[in-house]
Structure 1
Amino acid sequence: MTTLTELRARFAPVIETIAQGTLDRERERTLPHGAVRALAEAGFGTVRLPVEAGGLGATFGQLTSLLVDLAAADANLPQIWRGHIAFVEDLLITPHAEFRQRWLRRIADGAVIGNAWSEIGSVERGSQGTKVAVEGEHAEVTGRKFYTTGSYFADYSDTLVEAADGSQHIAVVPLVQAAVTRSDDWDGFGQKLTGTGTIVYDRARLDAQDVIPFEDRFGYQTAVYQLVLIAVHAGIAAAVREDATAAVAARTRTYSHGNADRVREDPQILQVLGEISAVAATAEALAGQVAEAIEEAARAVGAGGEEERSALVAAELASARAQVVTSRLVPEAATRLFDALGASAVRETSALDRHWRNARTVASHNPWVYKAREIGAFEVNGTEPGYQWSIGTVGSREDASAPVPV
């Protein structure tokens, strides 16, 4: 099995190059096409693939460490790969053997998968406005998706669709075709470079064999999606620690009402750095704990009964608990950075505000207040958390089995 040291050695040069260009991309709003492609060429998309399938055979813990490293360099990049990571995980346990083998080969050959599940507007909760029609060996997808993180950079998109009979499916749509329009219209104040915009499918063509029932999706997927965001938070916290430490160490101007003639010796400033360091260490440790719980859930697949159920519950609760903590502490740490520095820190040239904007945006994806309530319900009443959830308007139809990983 590949070790974490070997994995880090493999990706460190790419991640270092990505880090060197982060500020320029942020200032100029330049999408990281080159960074995504460099990661793909280095095999990032195959990290979780078994070695015998042409991958690197990494554990969830090893993958998470790489995601934290990558997020510290550029918080946009791990989120871009979020849909790909979940798609690969589904391949490893899907009951559709031919689908698995076909897509394992494509992933091993370097294919990058994006995400296209979410819809905005008046779509009813539990329903999908994006439709699929299968005829013979071919299928067509028509509809509009938003929050399509990663698909702007991808070869295919893992798309949640609905058939005429109301059943829901996953359709893996080739994105390089005239019937697909991708727009970089994501206008969030953070995670600006994730390509989280709109895809319009106008009878987009794909092979019918690339449409599979959604009900067969792997059970711990929500925890996997959340793990990526927790790793992003951990990486942001690490970057805040690094930037704050470097800025304080280099600072020569001091205030007359401070506590020392050198900022690096001011006990109040050192306290701020200590608090930031504690948050960074906590976030990374929590990401590791979630990875371990998901690893157990992956091992329990197929065991059935209490063993599998308990592992799924543990993975969901671990990710929820970590989400509650990181969603509050990491944005706070990104704000505390400015308490350690002077007014020069808010100049746009430093782009230090990106840390808070990115952390706050990541924290807004899946409302942590609902997750906290689910944790409390489990602790007090033994109520299992929901493994999948949906968002939309309330109408005549209600089906909680259609999740939206926004």
Structure 2
Amino acid sequence: MSIQNNQNLSLGADYEQVATKFRPIFQQIALGALERETQRKLPFDAIQALKQVGFGAVRVPTAFGGDGLSQQQLFRLLIELAKADSNVVQALRGHFAFVEDRLNAHKDQDQTIWFKRFVQGDLVGNAWTEIGQVEIGDVATRVTANQDGQLSVNGQKYYSTGTIFADWIDLFALDETQNQHVIAAVATKDAGVKISDDWDGFGQKTTGSGTLTIQDVAIERDHILPFEQRFKYQTAFYQVVHLATLAGIAHSAVATFSEEVRQRTRIFSHGNADLVRDDAQILQVIGKASAQAYASEAITLATAKALDVAYLSHFQSDATFEQQANDRAELESSQGQVVISELVLNLSTELFNSLGASASSTAKQLDRFWRNARVVSSHNPLIYKQKVIGDWVINQTALPYVWQIGNSPVAKQAEIAA
């Protein structure tokens, strides 16, 4: 097939033309960000506004009514949105991953129904992680069948990011009828779905990442998707959403602190100028942070380019090239995480050197940039990323495409022994 001319793929569009549709909404989202942060107010209005203008369909091919953006363009757009409010981007992380999965699945199975849903504004939330006494490798959320063969889902998830805003749930489960891990696409409107806003993190407070309970929810077989068919670069994709979020946080922090410096009239007797905005050392602080923000965005977009190559490789008949493209996407997203996390955590701390003690005012919430960056950077531990990168570089050990978290069986054995 000719990739360049295939209208069923998302190969890129006029970025400015597409972005222009959304920027007025981004501006409105930015105006309410501080209030939402201060009051811990979930961004229902912000996400509804994005739904109404088709933001969730920017990656859907133009042949199906979407904008056909490349992944590099998508992440550029997410950086702009994260600058307005990083919580909104993280709330949409699961949606764009599910869309990406359907884009890949379209190679072998028609996805017109899902594309139509996305274009109509449907959003998908994320619900994979279980907490409590679930051992690593086990999945308590199950798909089962009754005597009549009717399928249903039961289980509980935490970190169900974005689900409270969504129409569908990207739910990781074990299908007992097939004895395989699956994604169950569950409608949030079902009476057996309960979504709780009980996320208690000190950052990214309004992402809707709380508890999800699924009780006797009926599901059709065509809404049960084998996990082994999930798009190969999914882990890299999820990570690059975090990188875009961090880059947006960086830009927003620099802009906010710069305005504080610009307006500041109080000076120190041992400073370097009659106005803070002319103080060489203060300008140095802002200048370095600006460079770090620039680097964060540049690295994010470079990793997104690797994702585009992985996407296109899926539609070519070259298994070796596809494996190499996926390895490259995983490696670059991991390397990007290590560097960008440190850049943004550093700048969101060092920027306080440009102001005085008044910067600690809770009314200003200037600490939100560090808090949000710290939480985003904690999702995939940096030390393990550094380790797997080093193992790849030195030993060519395969990168872990998928991993799980859960209770250690050794800890359980120790508890029984005690």
Q: TM-score, length-normalised on structure 1? A: 0.94
Aligned to 2:270: 257
| Alignment partner, residue 361 of structure 1 | 375
1:194 and 2:226 correspond = no
Deviation of 1:96 after TM superposition, in Å, equals 8.5
Q: Which residue of 2 aligns with 1:55?
A: 66
Is it true that 1:101 corresponds to 2:112 in the alignment?
Answer: yes
SS at match of 1:194: coil
Pair 137,114 (structure 1): closer, same or farther in 2 beyond 3 Å: farther
Shift of 1:393: 2.1
Q: 1:285 aligns with which of 278, 285, 298?
A: 298
Deviations 1:177-223 (A, max 9, x none): 22111000000000000000000011112222100211100100001
Query: Matched residues in 1 for 2:225 and 2:71: separation?
Result: 25
Q: Which residue is 2:401 aligned to?
A: 387
Q: Distance in 1 between matches of 2:110 and 2:124?
A: 15
Residue 130 of structure 1 aligns with an amino acid whose one-letter code is: T
Structure 1: how far apart are the matches of 2:91 and 2:61? 22
Is the CA contact (8 Å cut-off) linking 1:116 and 1:158 kept in structure 2?
A: yes
SS at match of 2:90: helix
Give the secondary-structure state (helix, strand or coil) at the position aligned to 1:337: helix
Q: Structure 1 307/186 Cα, relative in aligned 2: closer, same or farther at 3 Å? A: same
- What SS does structure 1 have at the residue aligned with 2:274? coil
Q: Partner of 2:5 in structure 1?
A: none
Partner residue in 2 for 1:72: 83
Shift of 1:272: 0.6
For the aligned residue pairs, the C-alpha RMSD in angstroms reads 1.5
In the alignment, is residue 114 of structure 1 matched against residue 125 of structure 2? yes
**Do the aligned residues in 2 keep the contact of 1:238 with 1:280 (CA within 8 Å)?**
yes
Q: Note the alpha carbon deviations across 1:318-368, whole angstroms, 9 max, x for none.
A: 100110011111011111121110111111111111111000000000111
Q: Relative to 1, partners in 2 of residues 1:297 and 1:96: Cα closer, same or farther, differing over 3 Å?
A: closer
Q: Which string of whole-angstrom CA distances, capped at 9 and with x for unpartnered residues, describes residues 233-289 of structure 1?
A: 000000011011111111111000111111111111111111110110010001100
Percentage of identical aligned residues: 44
Aligned residue pairs total 396
Q: Report the Cα distance in structure 2 between the residues aligned to 1:145 and 1:307, rounded to whole angstroms.
A: 36
In the alignment, structure 2 segments of 5+ residues that lack a partner are 1-11, 411-418
Q: Within 2, Cα distance between the matches of 1:292 and 1:356? A: 27
Instruction: Using the TM superposition, name which of 29-38 and 156-165 deviates more.
Output: 156-165
Counterparts of residues 176-187 of structure 1 (less than 5 Å): 176-187=189-200
- 8 Å Cα contact 1:137/1:207 also seen in 2: no
SS in structure 2 opposite 1:264?
A: helix
Amino acid at match of 2:338: V
**Are the structure 2 counterparts of residues 204 and 96 from structure 1 closer, same or farther at C-alpha, using a change threshold of 3 Å?**
farther
Q: Report 1:129-168 matches (<5 A).
A: 129-134=140-145, 138-164=150-176, 166-168=179-181
Query: Which residue is equivalent to 1:399?
Result: none
Please name the residue that 2:332 is paired with.
Answer: 318
Q: Which residue of the other structure, out of 341, 345, 351, is the alignment partner of 2:359?
A: 345
Distance change in 2, residues 1:385/1:10 (3 Å): same
Three-state SS of the structure 2 residue aligned to 1:176 is coil
What stretches of structure 1 of length at least 5 have no aligned partner?
A: 397-406
CA distance in 2, matches of 1:134, 1:287: 44
Q: Pick from 237, 240, 247: which aligns with 1:234?
A: 247
Give per-residue Cα distances to partners, 1:152-174, cap 9 Å, x unaligned. Answer: 10011000011226411110001
CA–CA distance in structure 2, aligned partners of residues 23 and 99 of structure 1: 43
